[in-house]
Amino acid sequence: MATSVWLNTYFGDDVSQDDKLSKLKFIYSIDGIVKNLREVVQNNCVDLIIVDSYADLFTGSMNNSNEVRSFLNLYDGIVKEFGVTVVFLHHTKKASAGAAPNKNNILGSQGFEAKMRSVMMLTKDKEDASLRHLCVVKNNYMPEANKSESYVLRFSEQLSFTNTGERVQLNDLADDDWLDEARKLREEGKSLKETAEILKGKGIKTSKSSVDRKLKE
């Protein structure tokens, strides 16, 4: 029922595009999910598997790296055997709310991030509720320059995204709540470098130069 609502919202008053819908397959039961997925991929031409969400399927301890990697290896086997791409939807730590997008903000063990070829985060714009920032915080084959800025997307009432073509520095996406703490640390005699390191330890992605610039604004 929920999927039906989402699809109807997406198409709105437009006629549903059956040629596209016919290419989508949904699996709702998680019992024997890996075996089920393998059979679907084996019997159909599948390019992409989207797992929504990782937390709903993983039954072990999210903080146990060995358990996390063992679980992900089941899906990695499907990827290597059939050449399909698997995307896991996952969440970030509550403590990282307001911090700049960073792969270290992922909920659970670092083993999850380490296993992924690419990690992208989607965050709301601080001022415009219709905008989202797609941030590539890890990609094994992408130049670092492409990962320093977000891709600004407009999110419509039909649950779709359009690329505005704008880019925003990841550090500028962080809430400025940390500035009060930065000022306090500086007043206590901490250097800019020490202040940046302390903030990083709390999940705030920043640098010596960023702290200096923000405090002078």
Rounded CA separation 127/193 (Å):
30
User: How much is the pLDDT for 217?
Assistant: 65
Query: Residue 191 is encoded by which pair of tokens?
Result: 């250097």
Higher-confidence residue of 91 and 18: namely: 91
Q: Give the residue extent of every domain in the chain.
A: 1-90, 178-212
Judge if pTM exceeds 0.75: yes
Task: Note the pLDDT tens digit of each residue in 11-70.
Answer: 887 777 888 888 888 988 889 999 999 999 999 889 999 999 999 999 889 999 999 999
Task: Note the pLDDT tens digit of each residue in 142-164.
Answer: 888 788 999 999 999 989 999 99
Vertex 176 angle, CA 169 and 166, to 5° = 25
